[in-house]
Amino acid sequence: MSLESLYQEIILDHYKNPHHKELHAPYAIEVHHNNPSCGDEVTLRLSLNGDSIGQVSWSGVGCSISQASTSIMSDLVTGKTMSEALELERIFLELMQSKGNFSGDVEVLEDAVALSGVAKYPARVKCALLGWMAFRDAALRAGSS
Amino acid sequence: MAGFDSASLRGDFPILDRVVRNGNRLVYLDNGATSQKPRSVVDAEREFYFHHNAAVHRGAHLLAEEATDAFEGARTKVASHVNAKSEEIIFTKSATEALNMVAYGFLNATLDKSGVGSPFHIDKSKNIVVSELEHHANLLPWQQLAARTGAQLRWFPVDPEGRLDLTNIESIIDAQTAVVALTHQSNVTGAITDVPLISNRARQVGAIFVLDACQSVPHMKVDVQALNIDFLAYSGHKALGPTGVGVLWGRYELLEQMPPMLTGGSMIESATITSATFASPPKRFEAGVPNMAQAVGLGAAIDYLNNVGMGAIAEHESELTSRALAGLGAISGLTIIGPTNNHARGGVLSFTVEGIHPHDLGQVLDDKGIAVRTGHHCAWPLMQALKVNATTRASFYLYNTEDEVDQLVAAVIDAKRFFKV
């Protein structure tokens, strides 16, 4: 496992120019998640468009993995139905928990497959999941409200 | 050069031969978190388990006698190491437990009907003094004590170099101060506290002074009498010793008045179904069968440290720190979070590199076999005061070499190249 495969260009691009990283209003749900072991944090806002994800916007501080993953996630779920978006979250979580045994389907996960190398570094998995867990929390709250 | 050759004693630490990522030999610079163990420490634990294991202070048999001798022998070593009396040393499971033991001593004296008049009795007219640079282990026990008793929590702020700002010492520590709890050396900035200056003030107002010595006892000569303090806590595992053993030292006349945090076996003088009287210190504070092998291992660790010499260790780490401050300080975009000169600071160096998050920097260093700590170092209030989210921390010990410092500096430069910053 080389550093280059962990830090693919796509990740560094999202880190330097993150997408949707500006909190928007109005929104339906706002959540704040942090990672107490490292201090990384994300505030995420979600607005719905019927049964679909209208807009995801966020702010936060963290390492390149957490920031790029949140950026990629917000691209990926926008416009999806709630159940499609939660299914993506499930597939991404499975990829992160794979210990590096599979690389992910680029047709489904798109840019997020670039994060597959993270699964080989157990200490970094939580970085990649920070934004996704915030999204899941927001989506479930939105679904139940 | 210090009075010993760090390269020659590395052979005593088998783990330092480990080959880690990408075939690199381990460069262990995370000593602030825990230290590695020399063979003599592990051998002492093994010797205890294989030949002398029995519950100490009980049992009418030879092994119980030998185990007690070994355990009490370790207590004597721990005591003389900080210039204290044996009966003033309490073995705990960790420094965290040791610090809590004092905080709970205050709480229990406050709850106790007969506690009024005890030096550990507090109420909302009193205050508790800490600082912004405390490790959570020496902040939360006091913060929670304040919340539960209504006592006011006060703190010394830090200056931009990450040192305590003592400008308002006279008003922060006043006649209503019950306890002052401070770190001897910051686990983040490496700044060494001017303890006698503050403990003299605490003495003036009759406050109890508690010192978190986790980052000092393993690295320098610490003398509880010269520091003029009342309590001191440190962890064995940061001082070449095993995990699972910490030390609380307290002045005997205070220990005699402090209620125990844990009650149970081996800490009583007598017991009935409704009441008990407690044994004298240190037994009063060692309920249950203690971590015997770990205490014995800590005794062996102290022997090891004394053979090398605490003065020589401090001098060696100071040389490494000077080299690291110069090497890292010359890297553009790198900011030392802590004192940038090598005056009154220990071998703990925190830094940030513009454009590289500490986790990402730590990952690149790990790829080269260099183990550092990244994050907030269990000191969130300090990070907030210094306005940083996280840092990378290198911390040295007696077995680290100048070559390892140079590898660290080179690896940080490589990381900048890798992340194109």
CB contact (8 A) between residue B359 and residue A3? no
Q: Which of B280, B306, B332 is the last residue of a domain?
A: B306
The structure's pTM equals 0.95
Residues B349 and B236 in one domain: no
For tokens 């960790």, name the residue.
Answer: B94
State the nearest Cα–Cα gap between A10 and chain B, in angstroms.
13
Tell whether the model's pLDDT for residue B3 goes beyond 80. no
In which band, very low, low, confident or very high, does the pLDDT at B420 lie, cut at 50, 70 and 90? Answer: very high
pLDDT tens for each residue of B154-170:
999 999 999 999 999 99
Q: Which of B251, B275, B306 is the last residue of a domain?
A: B306
Residues B69 and B139 in one domain: yes
Domain ranges of chain A: 3-144
- Domain A3-144 matching CATH 3.90.1010.10: the answer reads yes
Residues B149 and B236 in one domain: yes
Residues B133 and B182 in one domain: yes
Q: Which two tokens stand for residue B414?
A: 């490589």
Residues B123 and B156 in one domain: yes
Sheet holding B391-395, edge to edge: B334-336, B348-353, B391-395, B373-375
The reported pLDDT for the residue numbered A39 is 79
Give residue B126's domain range.
Answer: 43-306
Rounded average pLDDT over B250-261: 97
Rounded average pLDDT over B371-386: 93
The reported pLDDT for the residue numbered A24 is 93
Q: How far is CA A41 from CA A44, A68, B32, B153, B280, in A?
A: 10, 13, 25, 27, 49
Tell whether the model's pLDDT for residue B1 goes beyond 70. no
What CATH number is attached to the domain comprising B387? 3.90.1150.10
The reported pLDDT for the residue numbered A5 is 85
The reported pLDDT for the residue numbered B286 is 98
Residues from B contacting A (CB-CB < 8 Å) are 357-360, 363-364, 367, 374-376, 380, 383, 389-390, 418-420
Residues B245 and B152 in one domain: yes
Q: How far is CA B155 from CA B106, B127, B217, in A?
A: 18, 10, 24
pLDDT tens for each residue of A87-107:
999 999 999 999 888 888 999
The reported pLDDT for the residue numbered A144 is 77
The reported pLDDT for the residue numbered A1 is 59
- Using left for φ > 0, alpha for ψ between -120 and 50, and beta otherwise, residue B378 falls in left
Find chain A residues with C-beta within 8 A of B418's C-beta: 3, 7
State the nearest Cα–Cα gap between B367 and chain A, in angstroms.
7
pLDDT tens for each residue of A48-77:
999 999 999 999 999 999 999 999 999 999
DSSP letter at A116 equals: G
State the nearest Cα–Cα gap between A50 and chain B, in angstroms.
38
CB contact (8 A) between residue B363 and residue A6? yes
Q: Which of B238, B271, B306 is the last residue of a domain?
A: B306
Tell whether the model's pLDDT for residue B86 goes beyond 70. yes
| Complex-level ipTM beyond the 0.95 threshold | no
Rounded average pLDDT over B26-48: 98
Q: What does the mean pLDDT of chain B come to?
A: 96
What is the number of domains present in chain B?
Answer: 2
In which band, very low, low, confident or very high, does the pLDDT at B298 lie, cut at 50, 70 and 90? Answer: very high
CB contact (8 A) between residue A63 and residue B359? yes
CB contact (8 A) between residue A37 and residue B383? no
Residues B214 and B334 in one domain: no
Residue B401 placed within a domain:
yes
Residues B98 and B79 in one domain: yes
Residues B154 and B277 in one domain: yes
Residue B37 placed within a domain:
no
Residues B326 and B346 in one domain: yes
Find chain A residues with C-beta within 8 A of B383's C-beta: 39
Tell whether the model's pLDDT for residue B406 goes beyond 80. yes
Contact A54, A48 (CB under 8 A): yes
Residues B65 and B211 in one domain: yes
In which band, very low, low, confident or very high, does the pLDDT at B55 lie, cut at 50, 70 and 90? Answer: very high
Residue B268 placed within a domain:
yes
Tell whether the model's pLDDT for residue A145 goes beyond 70. no
The reported pLDDT for the residue numbered B2 is 55
* Chain B residue nearest residue A11, CA to CA: B419
CB contact (8 A) between residue B359 and residue A121? no
